[in-house]
Amino acid sequence: MAAPYTFEEFPWEAAAPDARRHRLCRGRANDDIRIDCRLEGASFLGPGAQPKEEVVVMAYNLERGLALDGVIERLSAPAGVPAPDVLLVSEADRGCSRTGYRNVTREMAEALGMCYVYGVEFIELPRCFGKGGRVAAPCEHGNGILSRYPLGNARLLRYRQNRRWNSFAQRALRIGEPRLGGRMALAADVKIGRRYLHVYSVHLESGRAGGRFREAQALELTGDALDKPHGVIIGGDMNTPGYLGDLRNGTARDGATRVLREAGYTDAHAGLAPEERITTPSGAAIDLIFGKGVAFTGAGVGSRREWAGLSDHYPVWARVRL
């Protein structure tokens, strides 16, 4: 018999940490991938938000938070998208020189009047140049979940199958993206009145050669969520370069999305034409929201006109009926 469901609200931190000095990670555990990091979270919720039968979930890759002020401004008065009740973010810096040593997820939550939890995907190592810009000293980079409702049962799921990001050449020459850590998902439950929603903020492996990792990571996600008693949302940057071709051609070659569908998950944006699914300036459809045990009553993608220049991704959103 399954144990009864309990909701344990996250132990919110009262004091603001200095993200440049107060690290969440204690270094490597057994190798360069399985780093040991605690979660961070704080609540900036005002008087309790009224529960709703339908909430808006948004997934957004922040590109490290390089344009954080613009992102906050746009989310404070959304244009062309509904205001999110739950926001699943990826590629959020914490204490990195390239983003002014800011705590990106915390600043967003405070500005938007939300609570948040944050987990570290990578310890970014120093580099002189490479994707994302110069990194002067080790810092942290990961996923967050922000919500207008209380968050609880938060945990970090670091995938068993992961690519290594820490070659000798990268470390010695300080080029590319040298890192400790590996792809992960941040999981939490959202308490909406007397209802609950299980959410996963995900960032699957990147690159066309990463397909076997993405498929394995999707299998791990669906396995982790298998016995959840309430509706489940899995959303974020899934790095699925072949999915747009599947949508256009009616095929199922992309492994990660195939795993999700075979596990009974529905693509929130399935009702949109393939050309309406593009989530990056380069023309890919890689930011996705899937759900199980919920109904999607609407979904969309932030337009290039409104969101260009704030990230190398556009936000995706869905209305979720609990």
Task: Give tens-digit pLDDT for 139-148.
Answer: 999 999 999 9
**Structural domain spans, the chain:** 25-321
Query: Is the Cβ–Cβ distance between 64 and 98 less than 8 Å?
Result: yes
Q: Hey, how many other C-beta atoms are within 10 angstroms of the C-beta on 110?
A: 16
Q: Is 50 left (phi over 0), alpha (psi -120 to 50) or beta?
A: beta
pLDDT at residue number 241: 93
Length of the chain: 322
Q: Could you give the CA distance from residue 293 to residue 241 in angstroms, rounded to a whole number?
A: 27
Measured between alpha carbons, how far is 177 from 174 in angstroms, rounded to an integer? 8
Give pLDDT tens digits for 156-210: 999 999 988 876 666 666 667 889 999 999 999 999 999 999 999 999 999 888 8
pLDDT at 30 over 90: no
Map 223-277 to HEC letters.
Answer: HHCCCCCCEEEEEEECCCCCHHHHHHHCCCCCHHHHHHHHCCCEECCCCCCHHHC
Q: How do residues 223-241 score in pLDDT, each as one tens digit?
A: 999 999 999 999 999 999 9
The pLDDT score that the predictor gives to residue 166 is 75
Check if the beta carbon of residue 165 is closer than 8 Å to that of residue 199.
no
β-strands 54-64, 86-94: how paired? parallel
Distance CA 317, CA 287 (A): 10
Query: How many Å apart are CA 184 and CA 195, to the nearest integer?
Result: 26
- Short-list 237, 255, 259, 238, CA closest to 246: 255
- Tell me what the pLDDT averaged over the chain comes to: 93
Nearest to 7 by CA among 195, 152, 149: 152
CA distance 59 to 48: 23
Report the CATH superfamily, name and number, of domain 25-321: Endonuclease/exonuclease/phosphatase (3.60.10.10)
